[in-house]
Amino acid sequence: CVILDVQAACQDATVTQELLKEGFHRDLLVKVELGVVGEDAGGCAVAARTHLPPGIYVDPYELASLQQHNLTKAALIPDVINVEAPEYLATDLLVLLYMEPDPRCSRCFRAALPVHGRYHQPAEESEKALVVLKSPEVLVCCCDNRLSAECWKPTEVEAPCSGKNVSPCQWYSVTHKPAYEELILQVPVGLRQHSSLVCVVTLLATVLCSSLILAAVCKYGHFS
């Protein structure tokens, strides 16, 4: 897996991103350690606002299934996504990923989100397309207003404090130094010089399968 660390300017709040698994279907694991809230972050809701470029997406149907079983909590913007669109016809996506407390650390939170790579146009040389994931923005909502004004600022996010609440709350974003680190997702792509071979093999497979279906219909079909 690939790891991204971002050190915040105030008391070393840290964001870590990891891409798990290989190929088109991955898990994005996000970890947050808050140093600006105090020794204990109990009572605070934490979320990561992640920007996904066109080369990667979240399946809304898969996400709905996971949320039904309380395996993850997230909001998609926009919430209507064309999962069949290739990379060059897709648009950006914003994900608000609600995080769960880490039992091993009183100031730590984590969450995982399944993401999928889109098909890219065939390349000339490289068999890998690079999709760049920038570090997420950390959002916090604390019930007792104990966030430091020097480290956190109000943000315009119309979203509830958790995946279950309906009414929106006041989110605060961590102020940190600009982060230049990036998480790179490598997506397999085809080569242009293989296009003729792919077309021939696809045509032969189509003819063979159509012939087998036609033969089965003629042999076992009942015609009046």
Tell me: the pLDDT tens digits for 129-186?
Answer: 888 888 888 888 876 555 666 667 777 777 777 655 566 777 888 765 544 467 888 8
Give the pLDDT of residue 5.
Answer: 44
DSSP string, 40-60: --TTEEEEEEEEE-TTEE--H
Q: Tell me the HSE value of 49 on the side-chain side, using a 13 A CA sphere.
A: 16
Q: Is 222 exposed, middle or buried (0-12, 13-18, 19+ CB in 10 A)?
A: exposed
The first and second tokens of residue 60, run together, are: 């809304």
Give the pLDDT of residue 21.
Answer: 87
Q: Tell me the HSE value of 212 on the side-chain side, using a 13 A CA sphere.
A: 5
Query: What is the C-alpha separation between 224 and 196, in angstroms, rounded?
Result: 43
Give the pLDDT of residue 167.
Answer: 66
Buried/exposed 50-77: b ≥16 CB within 10 Å, e otherwise: bebbbbbbbbeeebeebbeeeebbbbbe
- At 63, the pLDDT band (50, 70, 90 cuts) reads very high
- At 123, the pLDDT band (50, 70, 90 cuts) reads low
CATH architecture of 13-190: Sandwich (2.60)
> Cβ(92)–Cβ(134) under 8 Å?
no
Give the pLDDT of residue 79.
Answer: 80
Task: Identify the weakest region by mean pLDDT among 48-52, 65-69, 164-168, 206-210.
Answer: 164-168
Give the pLDDT of residue 12.
Answer: 56
Query: What is the C-alpha separation between 219 and 69, in angstroms, rounded?
Result: 46
Each residue of 2-44: pLDDT tens digit? 444 444 445 556 888 888 988 888 999 998 887 655 455 566 7
Preceding amide of 54 cis, omega within 30: no
Using the predicted structure, report yes or no on whether residue 187 has a pLDDT greater than 70: yes
Each residue of 101-115: pLDDT tens digit? 888 887 888 999 999
Give the pLDDT of residue 8.
Answer: 42
Residue ranges per structural domain of the chain: 13-190, 191-223
% pLDDT > 70, the chain? 75
Provide the whole-model pTM. 0.74
Identify the residue with better confidence: 60 or 176.
60
> Cβ(45)–Cβ(162) under 8 Å?
yes
Query: What is the C-alpha separation between 196 and 191, in angstroms, rounded?
Result: 10
